[in-house]
Amino acid sequence: MIKKIGVIGAGTMGHGIAESFAMFGYNVNLYDTNAAQLEKALNEIKAEQQLLVEEAFISAEKAAATMENISIHTDLQTAVKDRDYVIEAAPENMELKQNLFKQLDGFCPAHTILASNTSSLSLEPMMALVSEARKQRMMVCHWYNPGHLMPLAELSFFGNMPADIYQQVADLYASINKQTVKVLKDVPGLVANRIQQGVAREAFSIIEQGIADPIDVDKALKFGPAFRYATTGQLEVADFGGLDIWCIVGDNLLPAMDNSTQANNLLRQKVAEGKLGIKSGEGFFRYDAEQLPAIRKRFAQKLIHQLKASEYYK
């Protein structure tokens, strides 16, 4: 049974992953090569826990216990030597991850399961430098940002790992209230990001063609398909509508839609102009720098409200 957790990399994803396990009582060792980043991560976790208390999602005692459950480390061996499950959220670089897994293979006990939170790298080459025995205990566990609020975790079951090891990890994620998706093939983007890119490609293309303004494109999604998607998946929606209708509409609409195989030109143009979104003050919309903390807080509050309303949240 998995009890002790190691998280490697304390950035955007790593701090949220550590926080999620700690919130549910797991002992977590959080490692980063940068000591200042570890302190920053602890402060972020504290602030995020505080918001959960403000929103009456957890008690102040639970927030305090979350902090107690996390210890920070700058020595990798100390951080992982007694861990049952170690997940890395280090930079998205194949060579870096290969070397990291080689080190983890050497430092961790034989039973430790190793995971990568990679968004785009294949598992097979990531395992190149680990022992044959460890290859049966390695997988991708892909989280969504912000990790402590988004319920999804995509877990790989690509054929290198016995079913009972996969089940241990699926049970671990169920115990921290995550909804797991079993991904059977090592394809870029796994499942959720592929679906999201399909939607994004058409949304960007609609803007590029001047079919609607950004505010209306987002409204069409939030109050149309996405309003249903929060409770009813695409395949259920297709079944409800009738596959015969989806077949006819698909034949009529798909030839008129964007099928490009690279990022949208309008997006590329905005990037070239320095319009990167909230981090630069403008993307599809404008953002007042002074309002940014409130905008970020509101984003988290809305996710907390959705979690509270979700029938899956225990």
Ligand X SMILES: NC(=O)c1ccc[n+]([C@@H]2O[C@H](COP(=O)([O-])OP(=O)(O)OC[C@H]3O[C@@H](n4cnc5c(N)ncnc54)[C@H](O)[C@@H]3O)[C@@H](O)[C@H]2O)c1
Neighbours of 243 (CB within 10 A): 11
- Among residues 96, 184, 237, 294, which is the contact residue for ligand X, using CB under 6 A? 96
- Among residues 19, 32, 105, 154, which is the contact residue for ligand X, using CB under 6 A? 32
13 near ligand X (CB under 6 A): yes
- Among residues 4, 11, 136, 229, which is the contact residue for ligand X, using CB under 6 A? 11
Question: Applying CB under 6 A, which part among 86-94, 130-138, 221-229, 254-262 lies near ligand X?
Answer: 86-94
* β-bridge partners, 6: 29, 86
Spatial distance between the Cα atoms of 202 and 129, rounded to a whole number of angstroms: 40
Spatial distance between the Cα atoms of 4 and 87, rounded to a whole number of angstroms: 11
Spatial distance between the Cα atoms of 88 and 101, rounded to a whole number of angstroms: 9
Tokens of 148: 């402590």
Residue among 106 and 208 whose Cβ is closer to ligand X:
106
In whole angstroms, how close is the CB of 6 to ligand X at the nearest point? 11
- Among residues 30, 42, 63, 100, which is the contact residue for ligand X, using CB under 6 A? 100
DSSP letter, residue 172: H
90 near ligand X (CB under 6 A): yes
Give the closest residue to 173 by CA, choosing from 16, 24, 287.
24
- Among residues 2, 5, 7, 8, which is the contact residue for ligand X, using CB under 6 A? 8
In whole angstroms, how close is the CB of 195 to ligand X at the nearest point? 15
In whole angstroms, how close is the CB of 99 to ligand X at the nearest point? 8
Indicate the SS3 state at residue 22.
helix
* β-bridge partners, 118: none
Segment 208 to 267, residues that bind ligand X, using CB under 6 A:
none
Residue with the shortest CB distance to ligand X: 11
Give the closest residue to 119 by CA, choosing from 149, 145, 151.
145
Q: How many residues bind ligand X (CB under 6 A)?
A: 23
In whole angstroms, how close is the CB of 22 to ligand X at the nearest point? 17
Spatial distance between the Cα atoms of 139 and 117, rounded to a whole number of angstroms: 9
Q: Considering just the CA atoms, what is the radius of gyration of the chain in Å?
A: 21
10 near ligand X (CB under 6 A): yes
Give the closest residue to 21 by CA, choosing from 32, 9, 33, 29.
29
89 near ligand X (CB under 6 A): yes
Segment 111 to 170, residues that bind ligand X, using CB under 6 A:
117-119, 142-143, 145
Q: Residue numbers of the site for ligand X (CB under 6 A)?
A: 8-14, 32-34, 37, 89-92, 96, 100, 117-119, 142-143, 145
